[in-house]
Amino acid sequence: MGQTLFDDLVVDTPETQALKYTGSKLKLLPYILNLSKKVSGHSKNVAVFDGFAGSTRVSQAYAKTGYKVYANDIAPYTKSFNTAFLLNTSEPKSYQPLIDHLNSLEPVDGWFTEHYGGDGEYRISNNGDGLKKPWQKKNTRKLDAIREEIDKL
């Protein structure tokens, strides 16, 4: 069995929410948090700046362990994640009626379906444009209905 680089680290992190993608730091979180404690100690007075926050997974972990967090990223979706995961003070269950309403909508053909909806069987579109369609139409149609309803709300 090989020696680890940080034998004294406790591998325990708070649960976070984010997109799953190749660059995720989920598996690095225990090391990031513990190394931070070694450098700064842990205090409610310590602030952390996450300058490349992306999906905010690291920012969420810092916030849940008591740090004050400043998060930023050039990606536009990061603002939504910052708002939802770092600034939101509502209990998750308070959103259930809205989620139920959005889930009950009838699917529609819209922008996402036109540009990203495929049949799920082919790697490229079979509508003649030759472009990849990464999501099945049953999902993009639901997404289009939800986007339209959110605009109305």
Q: Can you give the residue ranges of every domain in the chain? A: 1-89, 93-152
Residue with tokens 């708070």: 14
| C-alpha dihedral (131, 109, 83, 35), degrees to nearest 10 | -40
The model's pLDDT over 65-110, given as tens digits with 9 standing for 90+, comes to 888 899 999 988 888 889 988 998 898 899 999 999 999 999 999 9
The model's pLDDT over 112-137, given as tens digits with 9 standing for 90+, comes to 888 888 776 655 555 566 667 778 88
How high is the pLDDT of residue 2? 46
Give the pLDDT band (50/70/90) at residue 1.
very low
Which class for 11: exposed (0-12), middle (13-18), buried (19 or more C-beta within 10 A)? exposed
Can you give the pTM of this predicted structure? 0.63
Close Cβ partners of 69 (under 8 Å, ≥ 6 residues apart): 47, 48, 49, 50, 59, 62, 63, 86
| pLDDT of 16 strictly over 60 | yes
Please say whether the dihedral angle defined by the alpha carbons of residues 67, 71, 77 and 79, taken in this order, is positive or negative.
Answer: positive
